[in-house]
Amino acid sequence: MGSSKLALLLLFVSCIERCLSASCIVNSFSVKKDFDPDRYTGRWYALQKKDPEGLFLQDNISVEYIIDDDGSLTASSKGRVTLFGFWVVCAYMAAQYSIPDHNTPGKMFMDYQGLASYLSSGSDNYWVIDTDYDNYAITYACRTLKNDGSCEDGYSIVFSRNRRGLPPSFQRIVRQKQEEICLAGEFQPVLQSGAC
């Protein structure tokens, strides 16, 4: 009797594990429906972030999004970074966005470059998971997928139009979205002291 209960318990745990990992398949994550780049423009301040592997902006992160004359979305960002383990500098980045599938404009592709030789350049997916355009936005990028379709190396940022934070009603929405992208509990607060 005891071994059948153990077998049943193991089967139950296995099913739960499969269900949980299935919900963390990156391509199953939903993004902002009918995302409007024009409404997204303007200044955003990072309040929380989940870093990828490697060098990443650490604090005082802000991003200014604009629509260029050709209609494309571009951004300039800044924030502090620590180099060589001791040298803290304000770093500046630029990015250009394209929308591969206009049926899902919230799933963009970002080409970015550091505006100094010590900063990296590259390309990432850039998904706007959710935003109300006036108060908050949560973005997501997965740099490397695992064989099961979940994310091996990625990052996410919670933005606000106000550097002082979000009202509690928006914090609840953000926490729910963090759970939906399988990153609940992985975010760190971002200092906004005006250093950059």
Q: Which of 166, 168, 159 is nearest to 138 (CA)?
A: 159
For the stretch 149-161, pLDDT in tens is 999 999 999 999 9
In this structure, the chain runs to a length of 196
Q: What's the rounded Cα separation, in Å, for the pair 8 and 2?
A: 10
Question: Considering the domain boundaries, does residue 80 fall inside one?
Answer: yes
64 φ/ψ sector (left φ>0, alpha ψ -120 to 50, else beta): beta
194 inside domain: no
Asked whether residue 38 carries a pLDDT value surpassing 60, the answer given is yes
Q: What is the residue range of 33's domain? A: 2-189
Question: Would 74 be classed as within a structural domain?
Answer: yes
Residue 29 lies in a domain: yes
- 45 inside domain: yes
Q: How far from 128 is each of 40, 124, 148, CA to CA, in Å?
A: 10, 13, 23
pLDDT at 118: 65
Give Cα separations from 181 to 12, 26, 101, 116, 167 (angstroms).
Answer: 24, 8, 21, 32, 22
pLDDT of 13 higher than 80: no
pLDDT of residue 53: 87
Is 106 domain-assigned? yes
Provide the pLDDT for residue 20: 44
Residue 7, in any domain of the structure: yes
State how far the Cα of 70 lies from the Cα of 62, in Å rounded to an integer: 24
Please count the structural domains in the chain: 1
What is the model's pLDDT at position 17?
A: 44
User: pLDDT, tens digit, for every residue of 130-177?
Assistant: 999 999 999 999 999 999 999 999 999 999 999 999 999 999 999 999
Integer Cα distance of 64 and 15 in angstroms:
44
Residue 56: other Cβ atoms inside 10 A: 16
DSSP states along 27-95: GG----TT--HHHH-EEEEEEEEE--SS----EEEEEEEEE-TTS-EEEEEEEEEEETTTEEEEEEEEE
Span 45-97, pLDDT tens digits? 999 999 998 878 999 999 999 999 999 999 999 999 998 889 999 999 999 99
Residues 53 and 73: their CA atoms lie apart, in Å, by: 26
Report pLDDT for 110.
97
Mean pLDDT (whole number) for 18-30? 76
- Tell me the CATH number at 137: 2.40.128.20
Residue 83 is predicted with a pLDDT of: 87
pLDDT value of residue 113: 92
Of 109 and 120, more confident? 109
pLDDT at 18 > cutoff 50:
no
Residue 196 lies in a domain: no
